[in-house]
Amino acid sequence: MSRIGKAPISIPGNVTIDISKGNMVTVKGPKGELTQQVNPDLILEITDGVLEVKRPTEQKRHKAMHGLYRSLINNMIEGVAHGFTKELELVGVGYRASNTGNLLELSLGYSHPIMFAIPPEVKLETSSEKGSNPKVKLESHDKQLIGQVAAKIRAFRKPEPYKGKGVRFVGEVIRRKAGKTAAK
């Protein structure tokens, strides 16, 4: 049996879950509202503030969906209750980040600045203190969306292995390579 799938999800007091016909799950909380279509084969049961996802058979496809939908629903509940944050840092000489509302302007060593529109569900914050790398902080209640936005920002200039320059997640370890050595 799936270890992730059979784990029950405890529902916080400030979160409400509505399961409509066709297994459409709507989760509402203080941070926002999320909806997710769950496969109609799976059984969703709420008892005493605990949500359980059950599968009808031991087929391979039911086993795969069991853990997946349990994780998606858990992330929705976590997101509307507490929210998610991702922080990126810009490592490199002259790399800058600034924002006006939800429009992110990045200067990453190209001949032009990069303008990137952030979706309205994601809250954007940039900071650049003297002596440290500029940082971009993203906050949202949707884990999938914030991960996708962070990955797109990182893709503008991925960290390179020789000097470590580029856009990286805070705390990310870049595997470094040795450069060329002088001929003997």
3-state secondary structure the chain: CCHHHHCCEECCCCCEEEEECCCEEEEEECCEEEEEECCCCCEEEEECCEEEEECCCCCHHHHHHHHHHHHHHHHHHHHHHCCEEEEEEEECCCCEEEEECCEEEEECCCCCCEEEECCCCCEEEEECCCCCCCEEEEEECCHHHHHHHHHHHHHCCCCCCCCCCEEEECCCCCCCCCCCCCCC
Percent residues over pLDDT 70 in the chain: 97
Same domain, yes or no, for 107 and 147?
Answer: yes
What are the tens digits of pLDDT across the range 113-137?
A: 999 999 999 999 999 999 999 999 9
Number of domains in the chain: 2
Percent residues over pLDDT 90 in the chain: 82
The pLDDT of residue 184 is above 80: no
Q: Are the C-beta atoms of 108 and 83 separated by less than 8 Å?
A: no
For the chain, state the CA radius of gyration. 21
Same domain, yes or no, for 62 and 97?
Answer: no
Asked if the structure places residue 33 within a domain, the reply is: yes
The pLDDT, as a whole number, for residue 33 is: 93
What are the tens digits of pLDDT across the range 170-180?
A: 999 999 998 88
Last residue of a domain, one of 81, 101, 129: 81
The pLDDT of residue 22 is above 60: yes
Same domain, yes or no, for 120 and 58?
Answer: no
Same domain, yes or no, for 88 and 116?
Answer: yes
pTM given for the model? 0.88
Same domain, yes or no, for 77 and 140?
Answer: no
Same domain, yes or no, for 24 and 67?
Answer: yes
CATH of the domain at 153: 3.90.930.12
Q: Print the domain residue range for 53.
A: 3-81
Q: Which of 119, 127, 114, 121 is nearest to 154 (CA)?
A: 114
The pLDDT of residue 163 is above 80: yes
Last residue of a domain, one of 55, 81, 107: 81
- 9 phi, psi to nearest 5 deg: -105, 120
Same domain, yes or no, for 67 and 98?
Answer: no
Asked if the structure places residue 158 within a domain, the reply is: yes
CA gap 94, 14 in Å, rounded: 45
Same domain, yes or no, for 64 and 97?
Answer: no
Same domain, yes or no, for 115 and 141?
Answer: yes
The pLDDT of residue 4 is above 90: no
Last residue of a domain, one of 81, 114, 139: 81
